[in-house]
Amino acid sequence: MIAYFPTAYPDELLYSQLARFYTKSGYMTYTFAAEELFASKTVRPDMDFINSYTSAAVQAITRNMPMEAVIEKHTMFPCYGRFLPKERRQKAFQSLVSMKGNYHNLLPISQSKNGKVRCLRYCPACTANDRDQYGEAYWHRIHQLIGIHVCPVHRCYLMDSSVMITGKATPSFKTAEEMIPQAESCILADNEIEIRVAVYMAEVFRADVDMNSSITVGEFLHSKMAYTKYRSVRGEQRNIALFHADFTEYYRGLPRNWFTELWQIQKVLTNDRMNFFEICLMAMFLDITSDELVHMELPEKTQQQLFDEEVYRLHEQGLKYPAIAKALSAPYVIVKAIGEQRYGTYHKPTKSSLKSGMKPQNWNQIDENTLPLVKEAIRQLQGDGTTRPKKVTAFAVEKILYFSSKKISLYLPKCLAEIQRHKESQEQYWARKVAWAARQVEDRGVTLTWRKVRDLTNMRRRDFEACLPYISDYADSELVEQIIHLL
């Protein structure tokens, strides 16, 4: 039975609370405390989360609050679990609450950067205040956020303690009071973007976690790009290259920032990366408030739906498609297709049953009318110099136009001929993509390297080598020379 157990301080790590219990309970060795606290006395205390505790330890830990509140207010779960998909988020949370299951496989726990071992960190000003107010220092959760280097309260740089967060360390309990010097001066930060990032991350971290939200962070961030230069006029395409260029420029002055590559940004938007620091950087860049980020909501109608409705509204007022296209700064063929409900938009009328059999289709006329749409789709696939080019195939065109599979090859010969006119081998497509990537790098004013091309194209070295004979078809001689000598 545990007779004495200290009350948790605001924002205190559960590990810190257990360390204070160990120090003040008079145990002769760590092993004696481990036997009373942990289901397995050989376990190493988890500094970020929890361990499997004895019933006596659980009773002491939950004396003033339920285990759910302990997980949310005294572990790092709000950092690692907040932006997970709903099912995974709930499963990870319940795994922590029940102390069962391997939550490490569910949470995207960051690894040490550049091989550096993480240590428990502290703010000298917070430590002084804690000692004045509570009579002792303690380990704050907010200081342990990966990517944050400044105290969001006092705006001074955080300090590393000698307490390492690693599986190789000897199991022990180290209190902040014993590990942090009694008198230590603050080093104030003067980097404004570094301070703003720290304050923003802290606001998001401290907020309650919405356990029932089914909105993914990728679709939320995408929705917040609506009506910006980072999405097309109708909203169905992202200009990720332009976003990346502006994003890296915005955070150019942020030290120790590893989130600088285009492919990293793309993976956040596709929900393949859920790093707390990276998501906060993207949200802050898009002027999303911390409150909006922790209570993610999608608009009732997408930019695409609103655009289509605007086309209908203007057409009903009597405007012709050329005038509508000019007013909305959109391609005429797209506006006309939307107005005639031939673009596969969300408001397609429900098909009614054919009582007298299938009516014959005038495929020649349909082929003629669809040809401008196919040309526009091909132009989109080839890219406008800023977006990454895609390979032109009948399947890719059908996907853009929301056509059923093989409709073009079976019924639209003119459209198929137009697609085949742009047919290219896989090596030729790779060459076109490499030339585009090289121009993107040049436009940023930085040195062209294989790594930069690889990150933009996601190509393997052998594919790059295979496409070199075709590079001259897509780039001038000077750029060709640079590309050939990248490897």
Each residue's pLDDT tens digit, 272-311: 999 999 999 999 999 999 999 999 999 888 888 888 888 8
Instruction: Check pLDDT > 60 for residue 353.
Output: no
Instruction: Check pLDDT > 60 for residue 349.
Output: no
What average pLDDT score do residues 394-416 get? 84
Instruction: Check pLDDT > 90 for residue 330.
Output: no
Residues 121 and 92 in one domain: no
Q: How far apart are CA 455 and CA 441, in angstroms?
A: 11
Instruction: State the residue for tokens 């409150």.
Output: 291
What average pLDDT score do residues 337-352 get? 58
Q: How far apart are CA 168 and CA 44, in angstroms?
A: 10
Residues 93 and 118 in one domain: no
- Give the range with max mean pLDDT: 91-95, 114-118, 365-369: 91-95
In sequence order, the 6+-apart residues with CB closer than 8 A to the CB of 72 are: 78, 208, 209
In sequence order, the 6+-apart residues with CB closer than 8 A to the CB of 485 are: none
Average pLDDT over the chain, rounded to an integer: 88
What are the two backbone dihedrals, phi and then psi, of residue 120, each rounded to the nearest 5 degrees? Answer: -65, 135
Residues 19 and 92 in one domain: yes
What pLDDT does 113 receive? 57
Residues 225 and 186 in one domain: no
Instruction: Check pLDDT > 80 for residue 115.
Output: no
List the one residue out of 317, 250, 323 whose CA is nearest residue 281.
250
User: What is the DSSP-derived secondary structure letter of residue 161?
Assistant: E
Burial pattern 318-353, b for ≥16 Cβ within 10 A else e, equals ebebeebbeebebbbbbbbbbbeebbebeeeeeeee
Residues 87 and 117 in one domain: no
Residue 448, domain member (yes or no):
yes
Lookup: tokens for 306: 């609103």
Residues 91 and 118 in one domain: no
Residues 120 and 95 in one domain: no
C-alpha distance from residue 357 to each of 15, 360, 404, 411 (Å): 73, 9, 21, 20
Strands, E assignment, 20-105: none
Residues 81 and 122 in one domain: no
Burial (0-12, 13-18, 19+ Cβ within 10 Å), 357: exposed
Q: Is the pTM of this model over 0.75?
A: no
Residues 124 and 153 in one domain: yes
Please report which confidence band the pLDDT of residue 346 belongs to, taking 50, 70 and 90 as the band edges.
Answer: very low
Lookup: tokens for 56: 């006596």
Give the end of a domain, one of 239, 264, 294.
294
Strands, E assignment, 93-232: 119-122, 159-164
Q: How far apart are CA 72 and CA 148, in angstroms?
A: 19
Residue 123, domain member (yes or no):
yes
Residue 76, domain member (yes or no):
yes
pLDDT above 90 coverage of the chain, percent: 53
C-alpha distance from residue 363 to each of 200, 345, 369, 415 (Å): 57, 21, 10, 11
Number of domains comprising the chain: 4
Residue 270, domain member (yes or no):
yes
Instruction: Check pLDDT > 50 for residue 345.
Output: no
Give the end of a domain, one of 68, 99, 130.
99
Please report which confidence band the pLDDT of residue 238 belongs to, taking 50, 70 and 90 as the band edges.
Answer: confident
What are the two backbone dihedrals, phi and then psi, of residue 231, each rounded to the nearest 5 degrees? Answer: -135, 150
Identify the residue with better confidence: 91 or 443.
91
Name residue 10's amino acid.
Answer: P
Residues 155 and 221 in one domain: no
Q: How far apart are CA 141 and CA 345, in angstroms?
A: 48
Cα of first residue to Cα of last residue in the chain, in angstroms, is 67
Residues 54 and 117 in one domain: no
Residue 40, domain member (yes or no):
yes
CA 30, 36, 37, 43 dihedral sign is positive
What pLDDT does 243 receive? 94
Residue 203, domain member (yes or no):
no
**Which residues constitute the domain of residue 52?**
14-99
Name residue 235's amino acid.
Answer: G
Residue 305, domain member (yes or no):
no
Instruction: State the residue for tokens 């030339």.
Output: 435
What pLDDT does 112 receive? 58
What average pLDDT score do residues 42-49 get? 90
Q: How far apart are CA 352 and CA 349, in angstroms?
A: 9
In sequence order, the 6+-apart residues with CB closer than 8 A to the CB of 461 are: 454, 487
List the one residue out of 193, 185, 131 whose CA is nearest residue 156.
185
Instruction: Check pLDDT > 60 for residue 359.
Output: no
Percent of the chain that is helix, strand, coil (3-state, to 5): 50, 5, 45
Residues 49 and 92 in one domain: yes
What average pLDDT score do residues 36-55 get? 91
What average pLDDT score do residues 396-422 get? 86
User: What is the DSSP-derived secondary structure letter of residue 156?
Assistant: B
Q: What is the 3-state secondary structure (H, E, C) of 349-408?
A: CCCCCCCCCCCCCCHHHHHHHHHHHHHHHHHHHHCCCCCCCCCCCHHHHHHHCCCCCCHH
Residue 466, domain member (yes or no):
yes
Give the end of a domain, one of 65, 99, 133.
99
- Give the range with max mean pLDDT: 225-229, 282-286, 322-326, 390-394: 282-286
Cβ atoms of residues 51 and 25 within 8 Å: no
Name residue 465's amino acid.
Answer: E
